[in-house]
Amino acid sequence: MRNRSTAAETEEHGAHELTDSPDFPPYFAEFYAQSGGERFGLSLQDFAVILREVSGRYLSANASPAESEELHRSLRLEELVLARACACGNEPAWERFLNQYRQKLYGAAAAIAKEESCARELADGLYASLFGVRQGDDGGRISKLASYTGRGSLEGWLRTVLAQEYINRHRSQRRLVSFEERSEAGEQFEAQSAAVIPVDARLEQAIDEALLELPADERVLLASWYLDGRTLAEIARMVGVHESTVSRRIDRITTSLRKRIVRGLRQRGMDARAAEEAMEVDVRDLLVDVHGHLVQEKGE
């Protein structure tokens, strides 16, 4: 966002060039009015730059004007303008941001971190990065708000950034824990050379084939429930559906998956009884922590 006097000098000259240029869609002016950018001193030209930056980030270089318009129409324009104005240090924008989002920021941090001091530290740290305490090469502040693109709500973006910061801190602290300390804590590690319970190759093939057939959204539900250990309520909030819907879907997916695996086993020459027996809960379910095993398997 340019200094107002500079904008005043060039705006009149640039305005005609801007609006007359072939890549300045007519809806830009309409969106600019909706965004309320003028109240923060954002010119139409600045606004157009922001929109082009967003479309350049999420669309391919040869995206059609219709695709660009579709993307722009999905943006949270008011929040986008607010965030970018804050990133430029616009004080009315900051006042509005604090009025609307301060409480939400701390509430989200409290929900994520649980412990009050940790939550406060998390929120304060994010606030500092939003404000921009680091200096860029040009001496200007580097504000995290400049990376908000208006795809989702500003509040949702803040929550996600908080979550990422919290998780990344937690992960980095975990990596610093030594092997000896983890052993002393009682964690057991399965040796790589330990005897592996033989599995019928047909079973593995049938399972892989059935899982491949699952749509991605169903795999997300199954992974969240069985691998990540999320509750139904948590999954419901993640995907934005009702908890009962999640429960019914997981049940339906699991039942369908079993049938597909059994069908696949039978196609591979296994008889019906053997196929059903193969799908029974095996002894490893009773002895092995599934989640922990999968974490090790993935090399974390």
**Interacting positions 119-158 with other proteins (CB under 8 A):** 120, 123-124, 127-128, 131, 133, 147-153, 156-157
Query: Is residue 254 within 8 Å of residue 268, measured between CB atoms?
Result: no
> Which parts of 179-198 interact with other proteins (CB under 8 A)?
none
Of positions 118, 169, 254, 266, contacts other proteins by CB under 8 A: 254
Residue 225, classified by CB atoms within 10 Å of its CB into exposed (0-12), middle (13-18) or buried (19+), is: buried
Nearer to other proteins, 51 or 261 (CB): 261
Tell me which residue of 115, 97, 106 sits closest to 162, measured CA to CA: 106
> Which parts of 213-242 interact with other proteins (CB under 8 A)?
216-217, 219-220, 222-228, 230, 233-235, 237-240
Enter the tokens of residue 223.
Answer: 């992974």
Spatial separation of the C-alpha atoms in residues 23 and 33, rounded to whole Å: 19
Nearer to other proteins, 14 or 152 (CB): 152
Q: Does 70 bind other proteins (CB under 8 A)?
A: yes
Cβ at position 161, least distance to other proteins in Å: 5
- Residue keyed to tokens 């199954």: 222
Going residue by residue from 82 to 121, which x/- string records binding to other proteins, judged by CB under 8 A? ---x--xxxxxxxxx-xxx-xxx-xxx-xxx-------x-
Nearer to other proteins, 19 or 254 (CB): 254
- Strands 134-135, 141-142: parallel, antiparallel or unpaired by DSSP? antiparallel
Q: How far is the CA of 205 from the CAs of 10, 93, 145, 199, in angstroms?
A: 67, 57, 47, 11
Of positions 64, 164, 183, 244, contacts other proteins by CB under 8 A: 164
